[in-house]
Amino acid sequence: MLSSVLIANRGEIARRIIRTARELGVRTIAVYSEADANAPFVMEADAAILIGPAPAKESYLDPKKILAAAKQMGADAIHPGYGFLSENADFAQSVIDAGLTWIGPPPSAIRAMGLKDAAKAVMIKAGVPTTPGYLGEDQSAERLALEAGKIGYPVLIKAVAGGGGKGMRKVERAEDFEAALSSCRREASAAFGDDRVLLEKYVTRPRHIEVQVFGDQHGNVVHLFERDCSLQRRHQKVIEEAPAPGMDEVTRAAVCAAAVKAAQAVGYVGAGTVEFIADASEGLRADRIWFMEMNTRLQVEHPVTEMVTGQDLVEWQLRVASGEALPLEQDEITLDGWAMEARLYAENPATGFLPSTGKLKHFRLPEGDVRVDSAVEEGGEVTPYYDPMIAKLIAHGVDREDAAARLAEACGLVEVWPVKTNAAFLAKCASHPDFIEGRIDTGFIEARLDELTERVFSDAPTLAAIGQRLEAFGEADTPRADPWASAPSRLLGFRMNAPRAAMDLPFNVDGQRTPLRVALVEGVDDDWSWDITVEDGRALDDVEVLPGIYGKGPFHAFEGGDVREFDFTAKVGGAGEGAASDGAILSPMPGKIVSVAVQAGQTVTKGQTLLTLEAMKMEHALAAPFDGVVAELSATSGGQVSEGVVLARLEAQG
């Protein structure tokens, strides 16, 4: 067994590797950037070393700094996790050349599968079915547009070096192809340093099926069954599960055999995932499932496979890298129950899922019934430098319905403030009737986006917030105490020689004014309570403070994974979507301006893209909120901006 391993990664995957390595008695070494100096993974490792400033290119993506750290700290192996340098063949080779153990596949396998066009060529030669498309070397915009027309719209543009949804665009019409190609290339270049693309026929009812494979240095390759990752948003996986719903044994045998064949074709060693696209228009069928790509690393969603097979895939990685044979043979690997994983992102569904950054003043994740792999803890900070995923929630059940119920409940128990998350959105996805029935494909979320992002609350959090606010004014159960005491509640509705009168309070919910009338009402046995009426005339009874409330003025109520802010002080809400009501286009987050599509004085129409901001590894287009003229333009391509900065200002026409 290896004696020490340097983890060339961060966040929850670094913590995940540390956990298993500690159980095996392997010393762990963390590398960290200045932004991660106080991160949990740094504190949990046996040793840690600073490798550079916050930007990933100057720290986690710098191979020389990683190797220097390994040498300085006396590591004998490097585990790349996923993302960053995990699928960089040159880095893998440099690790091996430095006399260290690379915990991953051979550089030759990474190269063979790293470029999507080359990988498809290898698979075709190996007899693995592949999706129809264009893999040619001619990368001119004219040739690509021509080939897209031959394939037939809709088509999918994909970066040849891509992964994780980066550098991928669906194009519905020929007139949109050029703009989509430019955006795709720009994002691919920024993420992978390679702007080449390939084209694929877009399957109209696609299911994303992937197979976990594992190889050792003795020529053995096995599969650990399939996962379904069809619930996606902008090609990013949201909920993954194992096994795949609707997968019969004949189809399972065929797709898993194809995955093993793919791994054998490139002499694969270690953990890998062979991804397939399935046409689910007639259910899952072996003749309608095609090879899409191979991820030559451990996947974010590997925990669902661990839950249904009872195996620790990181342990397998460490043992295989140490030269051991695979722990089990194929017929010894079995399925048990069902597992689902939800990715908790620091993002705001109410603003088009824009990333959210800041201090985690309140951070509570469910305990007990689910597995939680978290990157952060309360008091930590979500920065704009890295991927916005902050945790994974993994539920295991006896069957699919049981797993979905457990996952939905877990997502609903998430409490985070003031950073926004997608917890409520995840809870709605996992509890949606169509999801529970297995009626899913990669368009599931987009087709139900309004429904899944709608904010729906019961009266309970409102009552609780009001109750706690009134309690903060003074002792609510002793209203007849000294009326001149300092507590304002004792003066609510006070009048000389007359009963207390009701008071109208300037109550606000999420910055929006909500007319509210509050009065003290005397009941039986000297019991008093608050009588509360809201704008629509409903009487809200039984005011009590819920455990989900914390803080003082403003107050926050958590329900179903979402949170509402309550206050008795008038506030002005933001305009959202990066635009203020006066026509100012604001930066919704810290980031880099990658393109400016307009000029000062130019006439624009509502919805037209004005500029594109890159943050948290994704591009975000800021559009005109109305028809008008660009009166001011301060944004420049390549410039770094802070949150809330005015990038442009529009003036309405007419």
Checking if the pLDDT of 523 tops 90, the result is no
Burial of residue 494 (CB within 10 Å: 0-12, 13-18, 19+) is middle
In this structure, the number of other CB atoms found within 10 A of the CB of residue 37 comes to: 12
- Whether 595 and 640 share a structural domain: yes
| Secondary structure element (H or E) that encloses residue 252, with its range | helix 249-265
- Whether 437 and 373 share a structural domain: yes
Distance of CA 100 to the CA centre of its chain: 33
The pLDDT confidence band at residue 34, using thresholds 50, 70 and 90, is very high
By percentage, how much of the chain surpasses pLDDT 90?
A: 58
Q: Cα(361)–Cα(420) distance, rounded to whole angstroms?
A: 12
Q: Give φ, ψ of 229 to 5 degrees.
A: -125, 40
In a domain, 364, yes or no: yes
CATH assignment of the domain containing 11: 3.40.50.20
* pLDDT for residue 482: 45
Residue 2: closest CA among 29, 31, 27: 27
Q: Range with the lowest mean pLDDT among 186-190, 295-299, 497-501? A: 497-501
CATH assignment of the domain containing 142: 3.30.1490.20
* pLDDT for residue 572: 34
Q: Cα(407)–Cα(394) distance, rounded to whole angstroms?
A: 7
* pLDDT for residue 531: 56
In a domain, 330, yes or no: yes
Domain final position from 169, 201, 233:
201
- Whether 143 and 176 share a structural domain: yes
Domain final position from 182, 201, 220:
201
Domain final position from 179, 201, 223:
201
Q: Cα(582)–Cα(199) distance, rounded to whole angstroms?
A: 42
Pairing label, strands 101-102, 206-215: unpaired
Q: Active-site residue 185, yes or no?
A: no
- Whether 330 and 352 share a structural domain: no
Q: CA Rg, the chain, in Å? A: 27
- Whether 420 and 360 share a structural domain: yes
Residue 171 bridge partners (DSSP): 155
- Whether 49 and 155 share a structural domain: no
Tokens matching residue 642: 């802070």
Q: Cα(39)–Cα(586) distance, rounded to whole angstroms?
A: 30
Cis peptide before 105 (omega within 30 of 0): no
- Whether 331 and 213 share a structural domain: yes
Checking if the pLDDT of 56 tops 70, the result is yes
In a domain, 113, yes or no: no
229-274: pLDDT as tens digits: 999 988 889 999 999 999 999 999 999 999 999 999 999 999 999 9
Cα dihedral across residues 434, 273, 200, 129: positive or negative = negative
Stated pTM of the model: 0.78
Average pLDDT over all residues of the chain? 85
Checking if the pLDDT of 280 tops 50, the result is yes
Query: Are the beta carbons of 206 and 281 closer than 8 angstroms?
Result: no
Checking if the pLDDT of 17 tops 90, the result is yes
* pLDDT for residue 391: 97
- Whether 620 and 506 share a structural domain: no
In a domain, 579, yes or no: no
Q: Look up the domain containing 402 and give its range.
A: 343-451
Tokens matching residue 377: 């803890």
Checking if the pLDDT of 615 tops 60, the result is yes
397-450: pLDDT as tens digits: 999 999 999 999 999 999 999 999 999 999 999 999 999 999 999 999 999 999
104-113: pLDDT as tens digits: 999 999 999 9
* pLDDT for residue 512: 67
In a domain, 255, yes or no: yes
In a domain, 119, yes or no: no
Burial of residue 54 (CB within 10 Å: 0-12, 13-18, 19+) is middle
Between 251 and 635, whose confidence is greater?
Answer: 251
CATH assignment of the domain containing 282: 3.30.470.20
* pLDDT for residue 476: 38
**Scanning the structure block, which residue is given the tokens 């040793």?**
47
- Whether 440 and 482 share a structural domain: no
Q: Cα(229)–Cα(208) distance, rounded to whole angstroms?
A: 5
- Whether 172 and 73 share a structural domain: no
Q: Give φ, ψ of 406 to 5 degrees.
A: -65, -40
In a domain, 125, yes or no: no
- Whether 195 and 155 share a structural domain: yes
Catalytic residue among 233, 297, 319, 500: 297
- Whether 299 and 221 share a structural domain: yes
Q: What is the average pLDDT across 591-595?
A: 87
80-92: pLDDT as tens digits: 999 999 999 999 9
Q: Range with the lowest mean pLDDT among 140-149, 200-209, 321-330, 515-524? A: 515-524
In a domain, 563, yes or no: yes
Q: How many domains does the chain have?
A: 6
